[in-house]
Structure 1
Amino acid sequence: MTAMVVMEAGRFLISADRSKLDVDVIHRFLARSYWAAGIPRETVVRSIKNSLCFGVYDNANQVGFARVISDFATYAYIADVFILEPYRERGLGKELMASIMAHPDLQGLRRWSLGTRDAQGLYTQFGFEPVVNTRSRTVMEIVDAEIYSRS
């Protein structure tokens, strides 16, 4: 995987360089989010280690994040996308998504997916659509795998 600067616009930088990530900022945001509330820091660290990650920076301060889970051949899942509240409404989410979609290690994939309950307008700009017709296949998932490890 390529560690690279993806986009530089004014004072904002979007980079896939994992060494720039501020795990404290990422964990603090995710632990308060609706999709990862209470997530342990160790889990965030492991998820970063095993994903292609993108940080958004205002000078040296991290103000946004997203990670991609992929086999880098056929499939990618975009997760944990956020821009800190004071930096929203500046187009940074759109630039972050454009950087992800343009990353050289993610070209030629057959399928992209993500889960969201908000910001759908952002994702539809990049071709994402709600799953309506699954071509006679059933979309299945386990939402909380911990429930199975307790039995």
Structure 2
Amino acid sequence: MQHITTSYKDYIITTDKSLMNLADIHKWLSEEAYWSKEIPYDTVRTLFENSYCIGAMKGTEQIAFARLVTDYATFGYLADVYVVEAHRGEGISKQMLDLLFGMDWVKYLRRTMLSTIYAHDLYRKYGFTECRYPDRLMEILRSPDMYKQMTEET
């Protein structure tokens, strides 16, 4: 898969994992994200290695991130989207999503899904809607505190 790197204001937007800062991604996901508090570093490394990632950098600092869990042919699940608070309002998430959803292979995924509490209006701009057949969807949903519980047990 070809990597794309572009500049936007004082930021670099990239799909090249070698330019991303895994320590910063882990720090944000483990300390700031309500869905993954205390997620272990090894778990973040695994999700990073096994997903199509896009990020925004300011120098060597990872200030935004998102990943698409995908088979690259029919399905994708957008996850772990964030922009560090100090950089919000700069249009960074829009730039990242424009780049990601502008890729030909992403355009041809039959289904792309996500879960969000706050950003419905942002994602609607990229074609996301409520599920047409919600009664067909099922899930196994574990506690958002599962990583904290795992830490306490060890």
Identify the residue that residue 2 of structure 2 maps to in structure 1: 2
The letter for the 2-side match of 1:10 is K
Alignment of 1:2-151 (within 5 A): 2-5=2-5, 7-32=6-31, 33-131=33-131, 133-134=132-133, 138-144=136-142
Contact 1:18 1:53 in 2 (8 A): yes
For normalisation by structure 1, the TM-score amounts to 0.87
**With structure 2 as the length reference, what TM-score do the two structures score?**
0.86
Q: C-alpha distance in 2, partners of 1:82/1:100?
A: 14
Give identity over the alignment, percent. Answer: 31
Preserved CA contact (<8 Å) 2:78 2:113:
yes
1:44 aligned partner, one-letter code: V
How far the C-alpha of 1:109 sits from its partner, in A, is 1.1
CA RMSD of aligned residues (A): 1.7
Gaps of 5+ in 2: 147-154
Helix, strand or coil: the match of 1:73? Answer: coil
Secondary structure of the residue aligned to 2:64 is strand
Paired residues, number: 143
Structure 1 gaps, min length 5: 147-151
Deviation at 1:107, TM superposition (A): 3.1
After TM superposition, the runs of 4+ consecutive aligned structure 1 residues lying more than 3 A away are: none
